[in-house]
Amino acid sequence: MLSNCTMEGGFRTIMEKLPLATRLIDQAYEAIVDAVCSGDLKPGERLTQELIAARLDVSRQPVTHALAMAKKQGFVAEVGRGRLVVAPVDPQQLQAIQQFRSAIEPLAVRLATPRLTPEAISAGHRIIERAREIIPTGNARTLLHADVDFHSFIYSWSGNSVILETMELNWRHIRRAMGFGTPYVHAADVWDEHEAVLNAMAQGDAELAAARMHAHTMHPRAHTFGGELPQGNRTGTAAAVGLLAEAARHP
C-alpha cells in the first residue's frame, strides 16, 4: 500500500509533467490546423504522423493526439485503413456556423457595449485603421486576419468565455473557406460595416450596434469569395459559398 507521502509525491510528479505534454499537443495541433486553414495543406492531402513529427521536431505521440483533435473538429478526415487526409470544406458545417453567428455575434455586441473602455474603443479603431491600410495592397490573407481580430475583439470584451472559445474554433473554419477566395471581395464595404458597429458601441447604443452586426453577418457580401478555388476542393467550397449566400438572403 502506498503511503500518503508516496502518493503525494507521485501526483506532484504527474502535475509537473502533464503541462509539458499538453503544451506539445496544443502546439502540434495549432501548427496542423494553421497549415490547413492557410491552405498550405490542401484538401485531400495525406497526413502522416512521421512526417509531421519530423517537421515539428517532436515525437509522434503529441502529433497523434493533435491529429485526433483536428479530426474531431473537422479539419482532418480518415479514409481507408486509418489513412488521414486534410478534410474537404464542409458546406453544411459552414451553413450551421453562419446560422450560429447570426445569433451569437449580436449577443456578443450587446454584452460588450457597456463594458468598453475608452482604451478599448481606441483599440477597436486601430484594428479598423490597420485593415483600411491593407485593403489597397490586395493582401487577402492579412486582411482576413484583421477581420478575425475585429470580431475577436468584440468577443473578448463581451466577458463571455464560451462565446470567445466557441467562435475561435468557428472562425478557423470560416478563415479556411474565405482563404480560398482572392481577392477579399467587397473589403471596403465590410470594414465600413465594422466601423458602423463600433461607432454604435462607442455611443453606448447596444441595440443599434447589435442590429448593425446582425445585418453585417447576414449580408450576402460577407459570404462571397472571389478568385479560383483549389482543384482538390473546388466543388465542395463552391457549394459552401452558395449555401452561405442563400442563408444570408433568408435569415
Q: Which of 67, 86, 105 is the last residue of a domain?
A: 86
Query: Where a domain ends, among 86, 117, 148?
Result: 86
My answer on whether 110 and 156 are in the same domain is yes
Rg (CA), the chain: 21
112's grid cell:
460588450
- The domain boundary residue, chosen from 27, 61, 86: 86
Each residue's pLDDT tens digit, 170-196: 999 988 887 655 445 678 999 999 999
- pLDDT score for 31: 92
Instruction: Tell me: do 64 and 145 sit in the same domain.
Output: no
In this predicted structure, what is the pLDDT of residue 30?
Answer: 92
Q: 120 and 193, same structural domain?
A: yes
Same domain, 98 and 196: yes
**What pLDDT score does 23 carry?**
86
Domain extent, residue 211, equals 91-249
Residues 104 and 218 both lie in one domain? yes
Number of structural domains, the chain?
2
Question: Which residues of the chain are under the pLDDT cut of 70?
Answer: 1-21, 179-185, 220-251
What's the CATH number where 60 sits? 1.10.10.10
